[in-house]
Structure 1
Amino acid sequence: MVALNTPVCDFGRPAPDFSLPDTEGRIVSLADIRGPRGTLVMFICNHCPYVKSIAHKLVRDARDLAELGVSTVAICSNDAETYPEDSFEKMGEFARAHGFPFPYLHDATQEVARAYGAVCTPDFFGYNADLELQYRGRLDAAGRERRDDLPRELYEAMKQVALTGRGPAEQTPSIGCSIKWRAA
């Protein structure tokens, strides 16, 4: 496991479109989940210790952001052949076990992760109402620790995006396990 940091936010970059299957059997597009005040696209997976330690906070923040008009979607792009714990079937189990209030999508071709420039799990892309990138930071400072006493950086950033259309100028990169790319 190699821990990677995400790049600096490329403010204003448009959200790449997608149409992917979710764990409930539907095909979900960016237009389907676009929020009236913002959209949060998260690249996560089932096996990553960073994601496991914050799964409950993803649920909390998605619910709180929904009240502000920000929608949330999670995407798993990991190679399920090499990492069977990240298989489509296991994604459904993971989503149900954690009570995800957002769609959990499967990017089997990894094209969506490449289009977004995702590098790790978790990797957060926060967009304003016009689907312009405004946040590319971390959830909070917990890393792989299960801590609930830390400032809610992602939530506060997306709250600012919902209210002003702009993300914070200062953002701390997310850290996590590398996306498990298929062999070329």
Structure 2
Amino acid sequence: MITENPELWAFLKSLRSGDHLSGTVADVRSFGVFVALDDGPQHPVYPGVGFITIPDLSWRRFESVSEVVEIGQQVTCEFLYFDSWNGEARLSLRALEPDPFQQFADMVREGMQVDGRVTKLVPFGAFVCVADGVEGFVHLEELALEPVETPEQAVQVGDRIKVVVTRVERDRRRLGLSRRQAEAGSA
């Protein structure tokens, strides 16, 4: 398909990873966002030559794509690579934003106590937002001084709690937290 469109093929081959491309959000789908690029040809099938996958929209957690972009919005993205199968320029909005996790990791150290808000419960623990765009995980055994069988026995979504940073994994963007240690320290 793409090789049958020499203008599109030449355009995509001319792009380099890291290039900044601007365009207009042309369509929003459950699997990503199509962007009609300001420079470049029209796509023969899709509403735009540019495409942003859901994870590349933002560093921050969001429930709906409309929290990040909307149809008709002008955006500037970083070019990642071209998808030769679909004839698309794969783009990232988040690549042009500072990573809030890395900024947070610069400011904390293991053993430090921080405040957070419980955002999600899973059978083996709870996710806690400790800074804008930064969530950590409290394992079930770290949720309370006394053992609990379910996270609901210790916390609810929306609860504000104190936690101790137990692990910071910059490369994997993971943050380990303990409410038990925070409670033990204040007891």
TM category (shorter chain) comes to under 0.3
TM-score scaled to structure 2, two decimals? 0.22
Report the structure, 1 or 2, having the larger strand content: 2
TM-score scaled to structure 1, two decimals? 0.22
Report the structure, 1 or 2, having the larger helix content: 1
